[in-house]
Amino acid sequence: MQTLHVITPSDPSTSDCFVGLMRLAQRQIGGEHKTIVIGDQVEAEALRQRGIQMLGSLGGIKNKSNTLSRRLGRLLDTVCISAKSTCIGWGWHSASVLSTLQINAETTAYVDEVDDCISFKNNTTGIIPTNWNVSQRLLAMGIDETVLAEPIVGVAPKSVVVDSKTVLELVGIPVDCCIVAIVGDASSCEELLTVAMQIKSTGLAICFVLPPNYQHRAIVMLAATEKGVADVFRCTPPELRTADIISAASCIWAPSVAEFATSCAVLDVVDAAWDGIPILAGTNHPIASIPTVG
């Protein structure tokens, strides 16, 4: 059995949790595994160092005039030598590119986030969403319900995290300060700022640490400076991951999605909840669509 994995690490719709799940799949599913990165060689090497079995990379994630699709198709045709070959796309971007191909392999895609600007071309690629919000978004986009599987959610166990003392030093947080790890790359700016101002008025020593790929960081930090609450916020330094911040946090907060943004991603919240640290999320957050959580 041959399994080919396709992933676009730099695309916002690709959760970093997918890397851990892909690595887990490669270790536990029998047969030969190869991974194609839609991105540059640096991204491919980074995945190789994380234990992913690599085949190579395709530079450039923009699929203008289906150029990327043709390049990926030619590459897959050379490696899909068995009728039992399976091709798995991790994330919406990879799924959309796979949907444009006609290859000698069964294609499946795991999707946690949907980008409305990237279309899905066929109804033969099976889609496994992580929650019902994703399913509803896909149905609204015209995806045939026959290719949608029952939502499956899961994350790979964490390995090593940075110790709390080092986290505090790198983030620049006093030892007596309560750390709140913010989870969600599209979290509401208004909600973050409103709560920050309320906390500031109480005089409590609390710091919000924004996730590494937070989409509205510049907006929040500028507004926080104007409102006098900039000291409440910290950004995750490049040396750390969200998992490291969470290991040192007193609690986790998953704010609502910003009104001007759309998101149905939940894996980051599920991954954060793995550590057993108290987590706060509203009923309007996509995570609430998972019965055992919501």
Q: The domain that contains 252 carries what CATH number?
A: 3.40.50.2000
Whether 156 is in a domain gets the answer: no
Terminal Cα distance for the chain, rounded = 38
User: 237 and 105, same structural domain?
Assistant: no
Q: Whole-model pTM above 0.95?
A: no
Query: Tell me: the pLDDT tens digits for 244-271?
Result: 898 899 999 999 887 777 788 888 888 8
State whether 205 and 230 are in the same domain: yes
Residue 159 is predicted with a pLDDT of 64
Residue 101 pLDDT class (50, 70, 90 cuts): confident
- Do 206 and 107 have their domain in common? no
Among residues 158, 126, 134, 152, the alpha carbon closest in space to that of 24 is found at 158
Q: Do 131 and 8 lie in a common domain?
A: yes
- Mean pLDDT of all residues in the chain? 86
Residue 173 lies in a domain: yes
* CATH code assigned at 41: 3.40.50
Does residue 169 lie within any of the structural domains?
yes
Residue 157 falls within a domain, yes or no?
Answer: no
Domain with 128, as residue range(s), is 2-147
Q: Confidence class of residue 6 from pLDDT cuts 50, 70 and 90?
A: very high
DSSP string, the chain: -EEEEEE-TTSTTS-THHHHHHHHHHHHS-SEEEEEEES-HHHHHHHHHTT--EEEEE-----GGGHHHHHHHHHHHHH--STT-EEEEESHHHHHHHTT---SSEEEEEES---TTS----S-SEEEESSHHHHHHHHHTT--GGGBPPP----PPP-----HHHHHHHHT--TTSEEEEE--TTB-HHHHHHHHHHHHHHT--EEEEE-TT-TTHHHHHHHHHHHT-GGGEEEPPTT--HHHHHHH-SEEEEPPBPTT------HHHHHHHTT---EEE-TTSGGGGSTTT-
Which whole number is the average pLDDT over 36-65? Answer: 83
Mean pLDDT score, 209-216: 92
| pLDDT at position 294 | 45
Kindly state the average pLDDT of the residues 225-253.
Answer: 92
Please tell me which residue, 191 or 292, carries the higher pLDDT value: 191
Q: Are 127 and 21 members of one domain?
A: yes
The residue that leads in pLDDT, 33 or 259, is 33
Residues 123 and 244 in one domain: no
Same domain for 84 and 175, yes or no, is: no
- Is residue 236 located within the same domain as residue 193? yes
Any domain includes 154 = no
113 and 212 fall within a common domain:
no
Q: What are 118-159's pLDDT values in tens digits?
A: 888 776 789 999 988 899 999 998 898 888 998 877 776 666
Q: What is the mean pLDDT of residues 80-87?
A: 70
